[in-house]
Amino acid sequence: DAKTTQPNSMESNEEEPVHLPCNHSTISGTDYIHWYRQLPSQGPEYVIHGLTSNVNNRMASLAIAEDRKSSTLILHRATLRDAAVYYCILRSNTGNQFYFGTGTSLTVIP
Amino acid sequence: DSGVTQTPKHLITATGQRVTLRCSPRSGDLSVYWYQQSLDQGLQFLIQYYNGEERAKGNILERFSAQQFPDLHSELNLSSLELGDSALYFCASSVAPGRNSPLHFGNGTRLTVT
C-alpha cells in the first residue's frame, strides 16, 4: 500500500478554519483517500473519503490536488471537540488493509 | 456511536494466559477488521474477515488467531500472553471489503498483561 506523510502536530485557534495536509506522492490511480480521527481514549472515527473530486460532508471537506499526490482535510470552524489525532490513509484496489501512519495531532486553542 | 460493540472494555490477565476479545459489527456490515494499538507503535492492522472468511492478514503473531462467525460477530484469541501484548485492541467493520467502504471502529478492549 502507498504511504502517506503528515505533519506530526498542528495548532489552531477555536472557531477558525483548520487545513490538515497529507502527502501521498506514490498514490495509484485507483486508491481512495480516507481520513479518520481519534479522540483520546476512543476508537478512530471516520471523517471523509474521496477519489478525485473534492468532497464535503457535515464534518469536514476534503480537497484533493489535481495530480492526487496530496490532499487537505478542512475543518471549517475548529471546536475544542476537534482536538484529536487525524489520520490520512490510502485504500488500494488490491490491498484490503488499512494501514495507519502516525497522523497529525491537532491542538485547538480556546 | 459507531454501532460497533466490543467486549470486554477492560481485561487484566497474567503472562502465559489466554483471552478472547469479542466484536459485534455494525448492522449490515459484512467485513470485520482487528487492530492493535500500543503506546509506542500506533495502530497496527492484524487481520480482516469478510462474510466469515479470512480476507487479509497483517502483523498478526502466530499466538493470535481470529474468526468470524455466521452471525458476523468476530473473536480475537490471544494466547501465551506476554507483557508486550498489553495494548488497546480495536475492532472495525465495513459494509464491504472494497476501497470505497469506510471503516467504523468500536471503542476498543484495553488489555493489560501483568
- Encode pLDDT of B13-55 as tens digits: 999 999 999 999 999 999 999 999 998 778 899 999 999 999 9
pLDDT at B84: 94
Residues of A with CB under 8 A from a CB of B: 30-32, 34, 36, 42-46, 49, 51, 87, 91-93, 95-103
Q: What are A80's three cell numbers?
A: 475544542
pLDDT tier at A96, thresholds 50, 70, 90 = low
DSSP B27-57: TT--EEEEEEEETTTEEEEEEEEETTEEEEE
Cell output for A57: 460532508
Residues of B in contact with A100 (CB under 8 A): 35, 42-43, 45
* Residue B15 and residue B74 in contact, taking contact as beta carbons nearer than 8 Å: no
pLDDT above 70 (res A2): no
- A13 pLDDT above the threshold of 90: yes
Does the pLDDT value for residue B83 go beyond 90? Answer: yes
pLDDT at B97 over 70: yes
pLDDT digits (tens, 9 = 90+) for A20-52: 999 999 888 888 999 999 998 899 999 999 999
Distance CA B42, CA B40 (A): 6
Interface of B with A in 37-76 (CB under 8 A): 42-43, 45, 48, 50, 55-56, 58
The pLDDT tens digits of the residues spanning B1-10 come to 889 999 999 9
